[in-house]
Amino acid sequence: MNQQRSRGSRPSLPSPSTGTLGAAVAVVALLLGFLILRDVRDSSTTNGAVPTSAAPTPGDGSVDPSVTTTTLPLDVNGFKIQVANASGIAGSAGVMTGNLQDQGYKVLPAKNVAAGTAKRKTTGVFYLAGCEAAAQKMAGVLGGTVEVAVMPVPVPLEDGTLGDACILILLGTDLSGKPLPSVGTDAGGAATTTTVPPAG
């Protein structure tokens, strides 16, 4: 009893439905699109720009290794100074203004303090935000024994304004009519001596 198998009757494999195949193609296309967009974004931020989302926020302790911080020497022409006479000695603020200008500093014309301001025995160097380092430098140029502090409000000047200066020197009787110390300063007016820390 030979039973012959029909040659054309192989077991048929189930054919994939077009719906399942279409979904698989869509998923693959979506993944490829995501990867391509990610590579494009990564390459656009490697040209030196730091993306805003990757920039560290102050106080969170994160450090971006691609950002380097450089401390540059203080430029004597990078800030302006206002000298005001708080000593009561006529002409002393003008003399100090000239002395500082001779050292290369940008100094506005001398002024007097506002009426009713007490005379000072000790010279004070007062600064606006961002000029702390310059104020410390000026303390060194003036001899390192002056008071350094944040700018008082209101500004104690006869006209009440600093103009575009960021440092105010209220000249006291200790430095009135005296030349700048020659020891510890170079030709550009940059002090090399240790300065007084800000009054806290």
**Model confidence pLDDT, tens digit, residues 173-187:** 999 988 887 534 333
The CA distance from 196 to 193, in Å, is 10
Q: Is the residue at 53 inside a domain? A: no
Range of the domain at 132: 80-171
The CA distance from 97 to 144, in Å, is 18
Q: Is the residue at 22 inside a domain? A: no
Q: Is the residue at 12 inside a domain? A: no
Q: Is the residue at 144 inside a domain? A: yes
Residue found under tokens 């494999």: 13
Task: Check if the beta carbon of residue 170 is closer than 8 Å to that of residue 124.
Answer: yes
More confident of the two residues 110 and 71: 110
Q: Using 50, 70 and 90 to split pLDDT, how confident is the model at 72?
A: very low
Q: Cβ–Cβ contacts within 10 Å for residue 97, how many?
A: 23
- Separation in Å, CA 4 to CA 1, 12, 172: 9, 19, 124
CATH assignment of the domain containing 124: 3.30.70.2390
Whole-number CA gyration radius for the chain? 36
> Residue 32's pLDDT is what?
77
pLDDT at 132 over 80: yes
> Residue 179's pLDDT is what?
86
The CA distance from 16 to 176, in Å, is 98
Total structural domains within the chain: 1
Q: Is the residue at 179 inside a domain? A: no
pTM: 0.55
Task: Check if the beta carbon of residue 114 is closer than 8 Å to that of residue 143.
Answer: no
Task: Check if the beta carbon of residue 133 is closer than 8 Å to that of residue 197.
Answer: no
pLDDT at 122 over 70: yes
Q: Is the residue at 104 inside a domain? A: yes
More confident of the two residues 26 and 34: 26
More confident of the two residues 27 and 15: 27
pLDDT at 74 over 60: no
pLDDT at 158 over 60: yes
Q: Is the residue at 92 inside a domain? A: yes
Q: Is the residue at 68 inside a domain? A: no
